[in-house]
Structure 1
Amino acid sequence: ANTDLVNNQISSFYTGAMAHAAEIRLHDLPFKADLVVISPNDPKAMYQYSLECQELGLPYLFDPSQQVVRNPGEQLRVGVEGAQSLFVNEYEYELLQKHTCLSEEQILNHVKYMVVTCGEKGARIYADGKQYLVPVIPPTCIADPTGVGDAFRGGFLRGYDLGFDWPVCGRMGALAATYVLEQHGTQNHHYTPAEFVARYRQHFDDQGVLDALLANS
Structure 2
Amino acid sequence: MNNAVLICGSVAFDTITTFEGHFKDHILPDNIKSLSVSFFVPTMRKEFGGCAGNIAYNLRLLGGNPVPVATVGPDASDYLARMSSQGIDTRLVRVLEDMFTPQCHITTDLDGNQIAAFHPGAMTRSTENDVSGETAVWGIVAPDAKEGMFKHARAMHAAKIPFIFDLGQAMPLFDRQDLEDMHALADVWTFNDYEASVVEQRMEKSIEALADGLRAIVVTNGAEGATLYENGARRAIAPCKAVAVKDPTGCGDAHRGGLLYGLTLGWSLEDACKLGSIMGAIKIASQGPQNHNPSRAEMSAMLHAAYGLQLPV
Using structure 2 for the length normalisation, give the TM-score: 0.61
Q: Which amino acid aligns with 2:177?
A: E
Query: Distance between the aligned counterparts of 1:83 and 1:44, measured in 2?
Result: 15
Counterpart in 2 of 1:111?
214
Deviates more, 1:77-86 or 1:92-101: 92-101
Report the CA distance shift for 1:12/1:127 in structure 2 as closer, same or farther (over 3 A).
farther
Task: Note if 1:76 corresponds to 2:164.
Answer: no
Counterpart in 1 of 2:122?
17
Identity among equivalent pairs (%)? 26
- Per-residue displacement from partner, 1:100-130 (whole Å, max 9, x unpaired)? 3343243112210111001121100112332
1:39-118 alignment runs, 5 A limit: 39-118=142-221
- Per-residue displacement from partner, 1:66-104 (whole Å, max 9, x unpaired)? 211122321122112221101110111111222233432
Give the match's secondary structure for 1:45: helix
Deviates more, 1:97-106 or 1:113-122: 97-106
1:160 to 245, 255, 263: 263
Q: Which amino acid aligns with 2:125?
A: H
Report the CA distance shift for 1:55/1:109 in structure 2 as closer, same or farther (over 3 A).
same
1:36 to 133, 136, 139: 139
- Per-residue displacement from partner, 1:129-161 (whole Å, max 9, x unpaired)? 322211222122111000000101111221222
Report the CA distance shift for 1:205/1:5 in structure 2 as closer, same or farther (over 3 A).
farther
1:125 to 228, 233, 240: 228
Report the CA distance shift for 1:106/1:199 in structure 2 as closer, same or farther (over 3 A).
closer
Query: Distance between the aligned counterparts of 1:200 and 1:5, measured in 2?
Result: 35
Higher relative contact order (CA 8 A, sep 6+): 2
Shift of 1:5: 7.5
Cα RMSD for the two superposed structures: 2.3
Structure 2 portions without partners, runs of 5+: 1-103
Report the CA distance shift for 1:182/1:194 in structure 2 as closer, same or farther (over 3 A).
same
Deviates more, 1:51-60 or 1:146-155: 51-60
Shift of 1:4: 7.5
Alignment check: 8 A CA contact 2:228 2:237 kept = yes
Give the match's secondary structure for 2:306: coil
Shift of 1:15: 0.5
Give the match's secondary structure for 1:26: coil
Alignment check: 8 A CA contact 2:208 2:232 kept = no
Alignment check: 8 A CA contact 2:212 2:232 kept = no
Report the CA distance shift for 1:163/1:119 in structure 2 as closer, same or farther (over 3 A).
same
Give the match's secondary structure for 1:133: strand
Q: Which amino acid aligns with 1:50?
A: A
Alignment check: 8 A CA contact 2:223 2:241 kept = no
Using structure 1 for the length normalisation, give the TM-score: 0.85
Higher helix share: 1
Task: State the aligned residue count.
Answer: 208
Higher strand share: 2
Q: Which amino acid aligns with 1:25?
A: D
Alignment check: 8 A CA contact 2:157 2:185 kept = yes
Larger gyration radius, structure 1 or structure 2? 2
Structure 1 portions without partners, runs of 5+: none
Shift of 1:211: 4.9
Report the CA distance shift for 1:211/1:101 in structure 2 as closer, same or farther (over 3 A).
closer
Deviates more, 1:56-65 or 1:180-189: 56-65
Shift of 1:205: 2.0
Give the match's secondary structure for 1:67: helix
